[in-house]
Structure 1
Amino acid sequence: MTPWEVAIAQAEVTSQMILYTQAPIARKTRVRGVLPAPRRSAAVRIALGGRKSGLGDLSTIYEIPLLRGDEEELVPWDVVSRVRHAAAGVRLYSSDQVDTVLDTTLVRLVEDVPGKERREDRAHTLLTVLSCPTPTYEEREKESSLLVGFLYLRKGRMRLYVRHQGDPDVVGCDVRLAEAGPAVMAEVFSRSQDRELFEEPADDPHCAAVLDLAH
């Protein structure tokens, strides 16, 4: 996969996972972040926690490769199935599958699991396609900028992970949710290209720089 193909796949997974920030993906567990894997890897990380969890009290982060062993690309529902399967019960993992990132246990999910869309998943797809159609792969391919992830932070803030075509690095844009109106939304893609405003991402390995848009 080219760097931009990886970004498109991460953007598609991000779009799918937004549903599970509002409804549990397994039991009472919700998605609290979608993180583009570091070092430009063809993988995505899904951060889980409770309804109010954010950076600092996440329960688990699962890393999933975007390609199967046969080089076939995973579709977003495959990612949902793997996360749902892992989060639904206690699993045993080898030591090389487990690590720590953002002070949270990181588990690398490498095995295929039986994938099955639930009735509510199909309903969500139907309703969103009819009310606000998801961009096609070809449409995303032509975009100049993509949202490739997000993460709930503390104190009502969220980090938005942005990629620009032609730039292999990810920029994290921090916003305050209570103030994230049209003006902030308009700034995310445009101002995240202004390198003079960049700050170091501290302990976040999922972006090369951070831009504070929390007015």
Structure 2
Amino acid sequence: MAQAEVTGRLILYTQAPIAGETRVRGVLPGPDGAPTARIALGDRTATVDDLLVLHEIPLFRRDEPILPWETVDRVRHAAREAHVRPAAQTERVLGAPLVRLPNAVPADERPEDRAHALLTTLNSPAPSIEEREDAKSLLVGFLYLRGGRMRLYVRHRDEPGVVACDVVLAQVGPAVIAEVFSRSQEGELHTDPGDDPHCVGVVDLGH
């Protein structure tokens, strides 16, 4: 499960750079069932023949899975650093240097990483037309706000209008994501949307 979540999160960076001009060119499961992921980096057209590096990252910390966006942060930080080692001391896999990153690697987190995780989680797996018609709640829009916040627009079946949920991206995690659909149905939490004509009420989920 952890490997699949990391893979899903890193797909975005096959189309956009994760750092500088560097892109993700592969995500590999740990060999022999090891609880690690290996992320292959290279330029936009790199293949297995000309990868820059493979970063190996633990999938767990003290028996708890690391959050997928943590993986993005660590890979981005590592991609910006030069790992200069004597050739004799460098392990190579698939012809590329293998760099094992410890749990202590600093993270270069961006609000956009949390936003991507939030939006894809709320809209994943992408429902079919029939599933959308039968869904109790759907994410129907989003908007970046000031101060590192995001507004999520939610429509509930059998309820008039769209409700907005405001979240702080730095605080987004499983608990906040789980609250979006449930708390937005609690009418007593709704406040006036002010000058936003795209919703009938706003719920502040900033903690």
| CA deviation string 1:2-51 (max 9, x = no partner) | xxxxxx11101000000111111111100000000111111110000001
The unaligned stretches of length 5 or more in structure 2 are 128-207
Match of 2:96 among 90, 100, 104: 104
Equivalent residues of 2:9, 2:117 under 8 A apart: no
Q: Residues 100, 34 of structure 1: CA spacing in aligned structure 2 closer, same or farther, 3 A cutoff?
A: same
Task: Name the structure 1 match of 2:194.
Answer: none
Q: Show the 5 A alignment for 1:107-118.
A: 107-115=99-107, 117-118=109-110
Q: CA deviation at 1:111?
A: 3.7
Q: TM-score, normalised by structure 2?
A: 0.54
Q: Residues 112, 12 of structure 1: CA spacing in aligned structure 2 closer, same or farther, 3 A cutoff?
A: same
Q: Show the 5 A alignment for 1:12-91.
A: 12-68=5-61, 70-91=62-83
Q: CA deviation at 1:72?
A: 2.7
| Larger relative contact order, structure 1 or 2 (CA cutoff 8 Å, min sep 6) | 1
* Identical aligned residues as a percent: 54
* Larger Rg computed on CA atoms: 2
Q: CA deviation at 1:96?
A: 11
- Give the partner amino acid of 1:124: H
- Give the partner amino acid of 2:50: D
The unaligned stretches of length 5 or more in structure 1 are 1-7, 136-215
Equivalent residues of 1:60, 1:104 under 8 A apart: yes
SS in 1 for 2:91: strand
Aligned length in residues: 127
| CA deviation string 1:147-196 (max 9, x = no partner) | xxxxxxxxxxxxxxxxxxxxxxxxxxxxxxxxxxxxxxxxxxxxxxxxxx
Q: Show the 5 A alignment for 1:195-210.
A: none
Equivalent residues of 2:49, 2:95 under 8 A apart: yes
Equivalent residues of 1:98, 1:108 under 8 A apart: no
